[in-house]
Amino acid sequence: MRVRWALWLVGGCCIPGCNLAGYIGQNAINESAAATGATRVRHELRTEAKAMWAACGNAILPAASLAYADGFVDGYVDQADNGGPPLPPAVPPPRYRQSANDQTAQGQSKAQDYLAGFYRGAQAAVETNRRQSLLVPLAIPVVPPEHSVQVVRPPVRLDSRAP
């Protein structure tokens, strides 16, 4: 029975006008290429952020914890890759809140250090203007309309006998 369904499905994809098999192949190639490109960009940004932290991290905060440095790198990468306001996340990542030690005062201090480092890393990405080099310029400039368009609807007639 399963063989019949498989043959019917494969045979159905070969019917003229049905492009399912072509779409499956195209999606498999395009999506894997896009994911590979995004991973490559994030890896380059992470390497760049680590180098920036190694170069000037001690000047920013000499006694910085490892959590602060980790947050700095994550903040830099997030801001350069995604843009938006340079704010830390609402909660630290799971690695700073899942173990029992993370619920102690020392664990809370690590989470606070991470968030402070994230904010500083995001600020560093904004200051270097790194995001602008990742954006692809548009071929057609986006021009806002000079005047807003107002849609005026004709009045509704209540008399159904009128033409």
Length of the chain: 163
Is pLDDT of 156 > 60?
Answer: yes
Q: Which residues contact 115 (CB under 8 A, 6 or more apart)?
A: 71, 88, 89, 92
- Residue 109 has a pLDDT of 86
Give mean pLDDT, residues 6-35: 70
* pLDDT tens digits, 105-149: 888 888 888 999 999 999 999 888 888 877 777 777 777 767 666
Q: Note whether 114 and 67 are within 8 A (CB).
A: yes
Q: Would you list the domain boundaries of the chain?
A: 41-133
What mean pLDDT is reported for the chain? Answer: 79
Give me the sign of the Cα torsion angle 97, 98, 103, 106. negative
- What the block records as the tokens of 110 is 């690590």
From CA 52, how far away is CA 129, in angstroms rounded?
14
Predicted structure pTM score = 0.66
Q: Check residue 149 and give left, alpha or beta (phi > 0: left; psi -120 to 50: alpha).
A: beta
Cα–Cα dist 18/12, whole Å: 8
> Taking the mean position of all CA atoms in its chain, how far away is CA 149?
33
Selection from 116, 110, 115 nearest residue 90 by Cα? 115
What whole-number distance in Å separates Cα of residue 71 and Cα of residue 80?
Answer: 14
**Are residues 46 and 95 in contact, defined by beta-carbon separation less than 8 angstroms?**
no
